[in-house]
Amino acid sequence: MSPRKRLFPFNAEQTINILSEFGPLVTMFVVNAMYGINAGTWALMITTAMAIAVMFYVFHRPPIFPLIASTVTIVFGALTLVSGDPMWVQIKVTIFNALFGLFLIVGLYMKRNFFKYVFDKTFHYTDEGWNRFTWSFAIFFFATAAANEYVRQTFVEDHIYSILGQQMTGVNVWILFKIAIVLPVTGLYAWALTRLMHKYRLPDPVHE
């Protein structure tokens, strides 16, 4: 395996797939931190539409993760706008991640591996590899749900906190946590796990 492949174990098709699946979520968090929940929701909708167009053009299927995330974000974003309470947007992450982790585990017990269904045309692993991959991400989703709830309840909205010399409300601390910690850790975790999955990799199918 070449040094480049060891550092970045994705080909061009896989890279497009990953960006189309996760790009809208990254955009939503960044715009939300800069301009608020309304702009963040709009950014998610626009980039999701772009992801759908790219995925249909390249793979002839819609991106699963942005569609799920955008639906959940709309519901909880609407609750925040109606109630004026940012708690709904914050707790959305706890609920979504915990339920998605549970969904992955239930799928494994029913022998319906979600990640295999979504990524099987892009990533080619043995069944054991897919199961290990899915278990690992289920645990990761549970961990991020717990971390999100800890930060949400520790840094409350009606208090001002000094973080890195900056005065921030509880929601701004939560947004910083999502952008500066959760997103990079998620990317590094996915990268490391994908590299480890090479021992379960099957040869790419030959297309005539």
Q: For the chain, what are the domain ranges?
A: 3-200
- Please report the pLDDT score of residue 108 as a whole number: 93
- Please report the pLDDT score of residue 17 as a whole number: 57
CB 152 within 8 A of CB 97: no
- Please report the pLDDT score of residue 143 as a whole number: 96
**d(C-alpha 151, C-alpha 170), whole Å:** 9
Instruction: Return the SS3 of 208.
Output: coil
Question: Is the pTM above the cut of 0.85?
Answer: no
- Please report the pLDDT score of residue 140 as a whole number: 94
- Please report the pLDDT score of residue 61 as a whole number: 62
CB 79 within 8 A of CB 104: no
- Please report the pLDDT score of residue 101 as a whole number: 93
Parts of the chain with a pLDDT under 70: 1-22, 24-26, 28-29, 32-33, 37-38, 40-41, 44-45, 48, 55, 59-67, 69-70, 73-74, 81, 84, 122, 204-208
Supply the angle between the helices 12-35 and 183-196 in degrees, to the nearest 10. 170
- Please report the pLDDT score of residue 8 as a whole number: 53
- Please report the pLDDT score of residue 106 as a whole number: 95
- Please report the pLDDT score of residue 150 as a whole number: 95
- Please report the pLDDT score of residue 124 as a whole number: 80
Span between the terminal Cα atoms of the chain, in Å:
25
Distances (CA, A) of 53 to 67, 138, 144: 12, 28, 30
- Please report the pLDDT score of residue 151 as a whole number: 93
- Please report the pLDDT score of residue 79 as a whole number: 77
